[in-house]
Amino acid sequence: MALMTGAQYIESLRKLNTRVYMFGEKVENWVDHPMIRPSINCVAVTYDLAHDPQYEDLMTAKSHLTGEKVNRFGHIHQSTEDLKKKVKMQRLLGQKTASCFQRCVGMDAFNAEYSTTFEIDAKYGTNYHERFKNFLKEVQENDWTVDGAMTDPKGDRGLAPHAQADPDLFVRIKERREDGIVVRGAKVHQTGSINSHWHLIMPTQAMKAEDADYAVSFACPSDAEGLFMVYGRQSCDTRKLEEGADVDLGNKQYGGQEALVVFDDVFIPNEYVFMNGEYDFAGMLVERFAGFHRQSYGGCKVGVGDVVIGAAALAAEYNGADKASHIKDKLIEMTHLNETLYCCGIACSSEGSQTKSGSYIIDLLLANVCKQNVTRFPYEIVRLAEDIAGGLMVTMPSEKDFKSDVVVGRNGETIGDICNKFYVGNGKYSTEDRMRVLRFLENICLGSSAVGYRTESMHGAGSPQAQRIMIQRQGNIEGKKELAKAIAGISK
């Protein structure tokens, strides 16, 4: 089963006994739940496109472990070319789904784990790298989606993990046994956790000796004993529960997904443990995962941005405003911002380098600059899209009104007739298409997809301050002072 199709992926989820809760209740059939299904459809695209010959080069790669063709989401980057292809694949998927397609967190975790476990072993003589390679072979052979999970609840941000009033606010080793460890705690806002086959857990920050029990990394199936998830809600999410909902959803087919993942004393056999108290490597794993995921945003958000720009251009046309010079200029500005993000994604990939394990890693400074820009530009792109769309994006009646045959007019007009009469734009286009594109923009700017495009641009892969710390660390201000001194003739 080297390469699953989207349909096979969806069927494979049905075999899992993943425990999911939403609105205070257990969701028995979460695969078909109308609020969850769009996020599953979105991951399914990562499977289907791998079978499309025109995308084969981006969507698949040759496993360096087995020589087999695997989905790129399960691949360890072997060159800067691989790093660039990853970004291009993410842009493509953003274009096809206009959503967060979730699978990248696993890919980024694999790549961070691969090089870090190698270096832990080199220092401590452990065998984490071999264990990890075996796990990765399983992932590649089964074409699993894996949730790379980093973010802990963190409680009081001013306190270290061991100093929290509740010791469970960071995932920790509760017990060490001969054959494995028992873990307790939770990971918050986990992208794609429910529709992942497995979870790959990493520490959330650099750790000190007193936090050694929190320096833990491991893999486990999503339906492991003691593991459960509470679904995160999104703006306008219950629209998906409305009967016959279509136009009002903006993006009916695809969406993202976040959840709280709880480890209520989960046993992890030794073969799936990749860090067990080596606190001095927690920072390296975090830095590398964050770096890879910050690179990712130079692809996925750009792809979604492409669709936003396209939708804004359509809205202008449907409004009859597309010839106005200020509209053209706004579309240029949106394109400029979007391509700047892409430049960052490609640049940090091109400037990547080989790790001690042989795999390739991005340039960390440029990856952090990439994500820092992502915390800003999509907001400006959305602002311009809203400007072009006009206020109707948030004031128009529901699709049920547009389709209603309830008679309200003097001459027998229905609510539908009235809505279609007064919401007409450029007569060359149907009112429904105008509604559709405005609802799409509403969805991406303010609705459930705003999680994946707007707010995730701010906080996903680390909030802006996390990148600024890395930029400060990697920015070599001392070296730059020397440059200035040399030119200015300052000798000391």
- The set of catalytic residues is 100, 104, 191, 258, 293, 297, 300, 456
What are the contacts of 347-352 at 24+ separation with CB within 8 A?
348/83, 348/294, 348/295, 348/298, 349/80, 349/83, 349/84, 349/86, 349/87, 349/295, 350/80, 350/83, 350/84, 351/80, 352/77, 352/80, 352/83
Give the nearest distance from C-beta 53 to ligand SF4 in angstroms: 23
Sheet-wide strand order for 258-269: 25-26, 20-22, 227-231, 258-269, 180-191, 172-177
Query: Closer CB to Fe ion, residue 250 or residue 460?
Result: 460
Q: Cβ–Cβ contacts within 10 Å for residue 430, how many?
A: 13
Query: Which residues lie below 8 Å from residue 63, measured CB to CB, with a gap of 6+?
Result: 69, 70, 74, 75, 140
Q: Which part of the chain contacts Fe ion (CB under 5 A), choosing from 247-255, 362-370, 389-397, 459-467?
A: 459-467
Closest CA to 208 of 169, 164, 170, 161: 161
Query: Closer CB to ligand SF4, residue 102 or residue 467?
Result: 102
Q: What are the residues binding ligand SF4 (CB under 6 A)? A: 100-102, 104-105, 191, 296-297, 300, 456, 460
Q: Which part of the chain contacts Fe ion (CB under 5 A), choosing from 106-114, 183-191, 328-336, 466-474?
A: 183-191
Q: Cβ–Cβ contacts within 10 Å for residue 8, how many?
A: 14
Give the nearest distance from C-beta 297 to ligand SF4 in angstroms: 6
Query: Closer CB to ligand SF4, residue 191 or residue 368?
Result: 191
Site residue total, Fe ion (CB under 5 A): 2
Which residue in the shown chain puts its C-beta closest to Fe ion? 460
Q: Cβ–Cβ contacts within 10 Å for residue 415, how many?
A: 18
Among 277, 352, 460, 462, binds Fe ion (CB under 5 A): 460
Q: Which two tokens stand for residue 157?
A: 């941000």
Q: Which part of the chain contacts Fe ion (CB under 5 A), choosing from 26-34, 178-186, 365-373, 452-460?
A: 452-460
39 binds, among ligand SF4, Fe ion, none (CB under 5 to 8 A by kind): none
Query: Closer CB to ligand SF4, residue 104 or residue 470?
Result: 104
Query: Closer CB to Fe ion, residue 191 or residue 251?
Result: 191
Give the nearest distance from C-beta 456 to ligand SF4 in angstroms: 5
* Cα radius of gyration (the chain): 24
Give the residues lining the site for Fe ion (CB under 5 A).
191, 460
